[in-house]
Amino acid sequence: MLKKIKKVLPDGKISREKKEKRKLPKGKKKSGKGTRITIWLCIILIAVSGVFAYLKSTKVEVETAKNTSKISFLLKEKPVEKISDYQSNKLLLFTNDFLEQYINVPVNIDDRTMRTETLAKLYATELKQDDLSNFEGYRELKSKTYFSTVEYKDMAIVQYDVTYNNVGLVEKERKKKEKYKDGKTEKIREVVEKYQEKEIKKVHALINIPVRSVDGGYTVIENVFFTQVPKLSTNKTKPVENKMDVEQKPEISATEKDNVEAFLQDFFKRYASTSVDDLAYMMKKPEALNGLKEFQEIIYFKAYEQKKQILVKVSLIFKDTGSTMTNTEDFSLTLSKKDGKYFIEKLTHTLGGN
């Protein structure tokens, strides 16, 4: 057995056999390095994207919190305002009814008693009504128009423009002839006859009705009073003018102006006589009079170049169909031009503005 494991050297020494060293083959270095780099890049990208996602979500949460806080503040500080009881149509229904009952005063005593009882339900408790016992005649409402409502802290005064007649019954005398018999003879004599004559006094005034809202209902809390109808007109202003003309803006060329005027002559004839559908190819937002008027003539015409379009200012005369009655109207038109044809981009019923 020793012969198998030992070897006798020539010099008589014994030596053991050396074991072979076996090594596993190594992989290629390039391949391992690339994989490691790829893995680290993925790890870094995931980490960075996670940070950005966190920052973004944090920002969204902050903005959401701000918006929620803002909405809560607005809801708390500025709640939806309730429409005032004095701006409601219910108030006008009440005052309209009251006005009819109050202004109309019948001549018959029984009807007057009924009027008093009806008004008592519309007046505040213990508010006394007018004594009409000395009013010989009657009063009738001819027209009424709501004027305005003046609102105060706990009441309102509703105003109406009214026209009514005070009709007085005045006793007068007149002479008339009547027949009578004297024996068998028929004679005529003059007698005095008493009669009542109407004296009508027309009144135009502003009636003021003091009203209070209580638990969703209304009541007249004080005696109504009358004032003169205020003048609503004034001439302390100038009429609307063509600002382009005032600012002395230059007009388009004479040739272009003639072409535009010819187009408008045709357009306004169609505008007066045809329907909206017939003008759809000429206007962006079609409108028409559909035979209500007849176009007569253009009495004022200016045209200016504006942002590659043409701004036109015109005044023209229309006539009522089937009548000789005429009226003047003002227009501002913005025209565009394509393939040599004009198209109305905008039309307004004013000489001012654009």
Judge if 337 and 272 occupy the same domain: yes
Judge if 204 and 292 occupy the same domain: no
The pTM assigned to this predicted structure is: 0.61
Task: Please tell me the predicted confidence (pLDDT) of residue 293.
Answer: 96
Judge if 116 and 248 occupy the same domain: no
Q: Does 89 have pLDDT greater than 60? A: yes
CATH number of the domain bearing residue 139? 3.10.450.540
Judge if 215 and 265 occupy the same domain: no
What is the number of domains present in the chain?
2
Judge if 254 and 303 occupy the same domain: yes
Judge if 216 and 247 occupy the same domain: no
Judge if 217 and 146 occupy the same domain: yes
On whether residue 259 sits in a domain, the answer given is: yes
Distance (Å, rounded) from C-alpha 27 to C-alpha 43?
A: 24
In this predicted model, which residue has the larger pLDDT, 221 or 236?
221
On whether residue 323 sits in a domain, the answer given is: yes
CA nearest to 219, candidates 209, 228, 233:
209
Judge if 159 and 214 occupy the same domain: yes
On whether residue 14 sits in a domain, the answer given is: no
On whether residue 312 sits in a domain, the answer given is: yes
**Average pLDDT, whole number, for the chain?**
85
Judge if 164 and 290 occupy the same domain: no
Helix (H) or strand (E) holding 267: helix 254-273
In this predicted model, which residue has the larger pLDDT, 73 or 352?
352
Q: Which domain holds residue 91?
A: 87-169+198-227
On whether residue 208 sits in a domain, the answer given is: yes
Q: Does 49 have pLDDT greater than 80? A: no
Average pLDDT over residues 88-93: 93
Secondary structure letter of residue 351 according to DSSP: S
Distance (Å, rounded) from C-alpha 37 to C-alpha 39?
A: 5
Judge if 163 and 92 occupy the same domain: yes
Distance of CA 55 to the CA centre of its chain: 46
